[in-house]
Structure 1
Amino acid sequence: MSSEPDQRSQRIVLARHAETEWSITGQHTGRTDIPLTDAGRDAAVELGKRIDGYRFDRVISSPLVRARTTARLAGYDDPEIDDNLLEWDYGDYEGVTTADIRADRPGWELWTDGAPNGESPDEVTARADAAVEHAVGICESGCDAIVFGHGHMLTALAVRWIGLPIAHGKHFRISTGSIGILRWKRENRVLDLWNDRSHLTSAIDDI
């Protein structure tokens, strides 16, 4: 990425898709293309109100319906699709909760162990780096983008944006319907906002 001063005005807003039935139950939802719940659809509308007034030069989404629907209900009908924003491929752990995985494999951690017959942390790192460059790479000068995606993949983008190894993702919590902001402080990439759900009245439940 260019280090010219105008490039450093750039901002990337990360918007996680709103609630699904599997996000309620804690099941790993990778490539299973399930829709938002009614509450999730309402939350996506509120997310749109939260970002109303932002000017985005680029609107990018995962191809999965839960991300695209969140984008549409937030006011962005025709986002650019980036397959690198697909959620982590959980392989054999698709649809399985962490508690059930650890019953058979104590101490399992996605960010370091990956998923059998799914993606490894190194593979997700490569996709996250590519997604970041897609979001910013074609801008001749500083531009703002919003990215609609999934919990683990957006966390991977944030971790890689600030130059950390992918394993640090385990320290980041990201809730459905939340937003984060990546930007620059002088020549340094910084995390400006994370897991903001102030637009949702249900956010009090997360305290």
Structure 2
Amino acid sequence: MTTLLLVRHAATPWTQERRLQGRTDIDLSDAGRADAAALRPLVAAWAPATLISSPLARTRSTAALLSDLDPTLDPRWMESSLGDWEGRLPAELGADYTAWRAGRLVPPGGEDADAVRTRIVAAVTAAAARPGPVLVVTHGGTIRAVLAHYLGLTADLIEPVAAPSLTAVDVDGRGARLRAFNAGAARPVPAA
């Protein structure tokens, strides 16, 4: 069994505004940098042996603030593409946003849930084969996809994933076990 330490990146200016980021490459805000640095002792207590990061700037910056390990950049851990919705506010999208969060709608030009699930399962399988615990710095949507696929915890059953926070999941060929969720969250959890 391997422990995956799934960390959602710290806040960006868009996180603080509740704008949907998707794959738009935005770096951390000053508050996000401070929050990531504050999360470092909690991550260190798990003694990660391996660091994997989404290649987006906000995850790479968070990873650098959390650990001195050299990261492996893995695009399978990127946030879902939200197509035409990137940069928009949930309030602008109304019922469509609610339907998307419930898994009933794909944003125009965005990535569908099956594609996300396929790449996340492959990413988890590859990460679980690395020396552990494995620190993975990623995005809220990918963490939700892991929790939904491996534990049946869909977005409607959990609080949003805080930016930044640590979610620890033990995985092996038989299943998964949740050990921590939203640990170390420093600021109110955004709904996006």
What is the TM-score of this pair, normalised by structure 2? 0.87
1:96-175 → structure 2 map (5 Å cutoff): 96-102=88-94, 105=96, 107-110=98-101, 111-138=103-130, 143-162=132-151, 164=152, 168-172=154-158, 173-175=160-162
Would the alpha carbon gap of residues 101 and 83 (structure 1) be closer, same or farther in structure 2, given more than 3 Å must change? same
Partner of 1:191: 178
Secondary structure of 2:121 counterpart = helix
Alignment partners' CA distance in 2, 1:188 and 1:137 = 14
Partner of 1:27: 19
% identical aligned pairs: 30
Amino acid in the other structure paired with 1:11? T
Would the alpha carbon gap of residues 156 and 106 (structure 1) be closer, same or farther in structure 2, given more than 3 Å must change? closer
Instruction: Identify the range of structure 1 (107-116 vs 80-89) with the bigger mean alpha-carbon deviation.
Output: 107-116
Partner of 1:12: 4
Instruction: Identify the range of structure 1 (110-119 vs 87-96) with the bigger mean alpha-carbon deviation.
Output: 110-119
Secondary structure of 1:69 counterpart = helix
1:65 corresponds to 2:57: yes
Partner of 2:164: 177
Instruction: Identify the range of structure 1 (172-181 vs 188-197) with the bigger mean alpha-carbon deviation.
Output: 188-197
Q: Which runs of 5+ in 1 are unaligned?
A: 1-7
Query: How far does residue 136 in structure 1 lie from its aligned partner after superposition?
Result: 0.8
Kept after mapping to 2: 8 A contact 1:20/1:36: yes
**Which deviations, in whole Å up to 9, do the C-alpha atoms of 1:9-46 show, x marking residues without a partner?**
x2111111001111111111011111111011011111
Amino acid in the other structure paired with 2:80? W
Amino acid in the other structure paired with 2:166? I
Q: Which runs of 5+ in 2 are unaligned?
A: none
Partner of 2:76: 84
Larger Cα-atom Rg: 1
Instruction: Identify the range of structure 1 (153-162 vs 25-34) with the bigger mean alpha-carbon deviation.
Output: 153-162
What is the TM-score of this pair, normalised by structure 1? 0.81
1:36-55 → structure 2 map (5 Å cutoff): 36-55=28-47
Aligned length: 186
Query: How far does residue 112 in structure 1 lie from its aligned partner after superposition?
Result: 2.6
Let me know the Cα RMSD of the aligned residues: 2.2
Secondary structure of 1:52 counterpart = helix
Secondary structure of 2:6 counterpart = strand
